[in-house]
Structure 1
Amino acid sequence: MKVMTALFGPTDAIERATALREAGASGVFTFEGPHDVFAPLTLASTVPGLDLMTNVAIAFPRNPVQLAHQANDMQLLAQGRFILGLGTQVRAQVEKRYGAAFDRPVARMKEMVGALRAVFDTWGTGRRLDFRGEFYRHTLMTPTFNPGPNPYGPPPIYLGALGPRLTRATAEVADGLLVMPFGSKRFLHEVTLPAVREGLAVAGRRAEDFAVVPEIIVSVGSDDHAAARRLLAFYGSTPAYRPVLEVHGWGELQPELNALSKQGRWQEMGGLIDDEMLHTIVACGSPAQIAAHIRDRVAGVSDRVCLYQPGPIATSALAEIVDALGR
């Protein structure tokens, strides 16, 4: 099984990427947190043999041509080992933090992918750029701004999705699905995969041509996993993640967490995450226990997994997890 895990910023990206590769990781990814998603990967591209992925770059504050240039350059630097992972984020973050539009996010994201493919096609074939959509319009690509064909081809486009509508749309238009880390085996099989099959059927696509990449929160050790509980409480406070809780009969916890978050009572929120919820959503314990959780959760679904860390995992522990997954 291929294991990808996180880079946390640009300052030690090369050193961390090297250590992660030596620990057995097949790739590294970045997320849109306190640092830019592309800068650490630019540095990590100097480390041979690692796949690189944005997981995820928030799509709507960017425009397709800007994203296409960034992704094309990353594909060149990574020599064909880059994946452009995109996500919608939630309305409040996009509108209030980024000051960008969020209306009709599923339709907007589908069109974003179409616009990216149109730009990549123009660069690869020399055909005129003529993309006219509801949200994006690109009809000019003069030679000065055209990088020409990428020797490694355009990078694949994966989308992060949770709800069935965006998951279906992802299976229709993207190359892969990044299964959100706030999830469970039950939600994956009862909600996510049926939506994937529906989307593939609508588009007339084969399952083998579409990647499903589960992301799993990992907490190493034998303590009370306080950081993981706080992370689950943060996710659980967001209305968009309530469907995961509802599958397990925990739906009423979401508004309680949400109310505490609005009062800034973040420390208290983690105390509401009981052991059952923790062990359902998080792979926690020893490296062997973590590997067993991961194998059980993704069996028959994927040969690649992304490890989401509430805090950096020691490379020695990561190496043990990778070894256990390989056995």
Structure 2
Amino acid sequence: MPHPAHHRFGMTLPVPAPLGEHPAIARKLTEAGYTDIWSIEVDGLDGFTPLALAATGAPDAHLGTAIVSPFTRGPALLAMTAASLAELAPGRFHLGLGAASRPIVHNWNGAAYDKPYQRVRDTVRFLRAALAGERVAERYETFEIQGFRLTRPPQSPPPIYLAALREGMLCLAGREADGAILNWLSADDVAKVAPYVHEGGPGKEIVCRMFVCPTADADAARTAFRRMVTFYLNVPGYAAYQRWLGRADQLQPMWDAWARGDRRGAMAAVPDALIDDLLVHGTPEQCRAQIRRYVDNGVTVPVVMLVDAGDGADPVAQALSLAPGRRIS
């Protein structure tokens, strides 16, 4: 693992602990060597509140969203929220944006999931201007802004990273954003994906949220992750991504069972080899060695997303066991 004095290394919050404990948890993580704390926003907590709490407990940590969607917040609200975090953590907040998916945007938030590439692109362009303190009056392809200006623009506008799967969004992340956020890929896949981002110029960050289950019980880890595979990789965008990465033959039996309405059969059809590609699991030492492979292949900010094996393990203790300052045997 790269030494934390020279490289960034992140953990995903929240973990399954009361939200009021998260400032203390963030402090423990940074004391153990984590440099970054990143949030998620799906169906639990929002993407900004855990970071605000983490900032109070770990005042030197980098903070980032991975990701929030421009479909579920209006452009001005997104700019105001980003400005708030940038003021709270000057020079250390990183805004991760992503189109999310139709279930999240349309089914759960009642918004139209139209032109995701264009909506993300337009939002980046708006945010660049708004966070710089400019007055924005612009007709973009997917929305129009009529004279908005932040009254408290951040002294240090946050870098913007884009969640990206295939070529179009990866290239957009390199061309108009400051880097990309990756997930649902193997360490070997990074070598295929990263060059699209770097086409946009030097110095682009490659943030990777990787699923990690630190347990020596391989069967328990695979069982827990198999449920996630069947839920996520049947979403059309993620399915297309896995086809692009070359996993169609491995996943087709699962997709066929899911299309028949056979949820149990779909889970059973996910091969162990695919799980072992997409899930980091094993002892903490084995997990750290696997994470190192992602870094060796081009990830600049590895971010751990803990997967619960159902064994009652304390997630904070698991996070600390993976701390980048620990020696890999």
Structure-2-length-normalised TM-score:
0.84
Relative to structure 1, the CA distance from residue 207 to residue 239 in structure 2 (aligned partners, 3 Å threshold; closer, same or farther) is same
1:200-279 matched pairs, under 5 angstroms: 200=200, 206-208=201-203, 210-223=204-217, 224=219, 225=221, 226-242=223-239, 243-244=241-242, 247-248=246-247, 249-256=249-256, 258-259=258-259, 265=263, 269-279=266-276
Mapped contact 2:39–2:47 kept (Cα < 8 A): yes
SS of aligned partner of 1:305: strand
Equivalent pairs counted in the alignment come to 307
Give the partner amino acid of 1:184: S
| SS at structure 2 position matched to 1:252 | helix
User: CA separation in 1, counterparts of 2:328 and 2:170?
Assistant: 29
1:134 corresponds to 2:138: no
In structure 1, stretches of 5+ residues that fail to align are: 201-205
Identify which of structures 1 and 2 has the higher relative contact order when contacts are C-alpha pairs closer than 8 Å and 6+ apart.
2
Aligned residues of 1:233 and 1:272 also touching (Cα < 8 A): no
Query: Which residue is 2:48 aligned to?
Result: 38
1:76-124, Cα deviation, whole Å (9 max, x unpaired) = 1113211111111112321221111221111111011001112122x2x
Which shifted more, 310-319 or 277-286?
310-319
Q: Percent identity?
A: 27
Change beyond 3 A, Cα 1:239–1:135: closer
Q: CA deviation at 1:233?
A: 2.5
Q: Within 1, Cα distance between the matches of 2:253 and 2:68?
A: 29
Pick one of 6, 14, 29 that aligns with 1:8.
Answer: 14
Residue in 2 that maps onto 1:72: 83
The CA RMSD over aligned residues, in Å, is 2.4
What CA distance in whole angstroms lies between the structure 2 residues aligned with 1:259 and 1:115?
39
After superposition, what is the alpha-carbon deviation per residue over 1:107-157, rounded to whole angstroms, capped at 9, x for unaligned? 111011001112122x2xxx5433221222223246xx611x423x11111
Judge conservation of contact 2:254–2:265 (CA < 8 Å) in 1. Answer: no
Instruction: Identify the residue that residue 38 of structure 2 maps to in structure 1.
Output: 29
Q: Secondary structure at the match of 2:136?
A: coil
Distance 1:67 1:324 in 2: 37
- Aligned residue number for residue 203 of structure 1: none
Between the aligned partners of 1:64 and 1:96, the Cα distance in structure 2 is 21
Where 1:139 maps in the other structure, the secondary structure is: strand
Deviates more, 1:281-290 or 1:306-315: 306-315
Q: Does residue 18 in structure 1 map to residue 12 in structure 2?
A: no
Match of residue 285 from structure 1: 282
For residues 28-55 of structure 1, give each alpha carbon's deviation from its aligned partner in whole angstroms, at most 9, with x where no partner exists.
1111131111111111111222111111
Show structure 2 runs of 5+ residues with no match.
Answer: 3-7
- Could you tell me which of 300, 322, 325 is aligned with 1:323? 325
